[in-house]
Amino acid sequence: MRQLILCDFDGTITLQDMGYLLLNRFSKGDWETIDREFREEKIGSKEAYSRIIKILHGEEHAVLDFLRKHSQIDPSFPSFYRYCREKDIDVKIVSDGLDFYIKTILEIHHLENIPYYANEGHFLKQEGMDIVFPHFNEECGLCGTCKKRLVQTHRKDYDSILFVGNGISDRCAAREADFVFAKDSLYPYCI
């Protein structure tokens, strides 16, 4: 029986939402208003990113140095991942965050073998970045990375899928998975 765990990243594997950390440090504008509109579900994350990207400034080396100094993961996650691998349970990350910080944080913690799906942040030559949404679902339009579709895509290869998450972008995947471990704002949504 093949089993898969699809796990959110920001605030689930990491102790803090890395996007918020980066915005607090590198934004030059009112990102909180944009975030409030997203949390109130007035806009989706793709729209929020397209607005936030205009006020996010920082050279690649400065952003990556900041991540290396300030990223923390749940201390039990590495042993959880090793346990899953020993039991032949696949673990993949599904994130509505950005690939460059997921890659960096996984490398810091020697977890770079974990596959992940995320929005792609491309640093520009001077400052700032561009974002590409390779896992966007045009039919829905809510999240930059459609985790529901990722659950559905993996369904053919696995007998059961467990989803782990904590926020708005995890709701659709939670409805689609066989089992859910939920915390924070996802928990009341699931009960």
Residue type, 10: D
pTM value is: 0.94
The HSE-up count of residue 167 (CA atoms within 13 Å, CB side) is: 21
Return the pLDDT at 97. 96
Return the pLDDT at 189. 85
Angle of helix 18-26 relative to helix 99-108, nearest 10 degrees? 110
Return the pLDDT at 128. 78
Backbone angles phi, psi at 122, to 5 degrees: -115, 120
CA–CA dist 172, 150 (Å, integer): 10
CB neighbour burial string for 122-159, b if at least 16 within 10 angstroms, e if fewer: ebeeeebbebebebbbeeeebbbbbbbbbbeebeeebe
Return the pLDDT at 58. 87
Q: Name 56's Cβ contacts closer than 8 Å, sequence gap at least 6.
A: 22, 23, 26, 27, 28, 31, 128, 129
Return the pLDDT at 191. 82
Mean pLDDT, consecutive 10-residue segments, the chain of 191 residues? 96 94 92 94 93 90 94 97 98 98 97 98 85 93 94 97 94 94 88 82
Return the pLDDT at 135. 97
Backbone angles phi, psi at 52, to 5 degrees: -65, -35
Nearest to 163 by CA among 2, 12, 46, 1: 12
For the chain, give every domain's residue range. 3-190
Say which CATH superfamily domain 3-190 falls into.
HAD superfamily/HAD-like (3.40.50.1000)
The HSE-up count of residue 20 (CA atoms within 13 Å, CB side) is: 11
Return the pLDDT at 44. 92
Return the pLDDT at 86. 98
Nearest to 189 by CA among 172, 171, 165, 169: 171
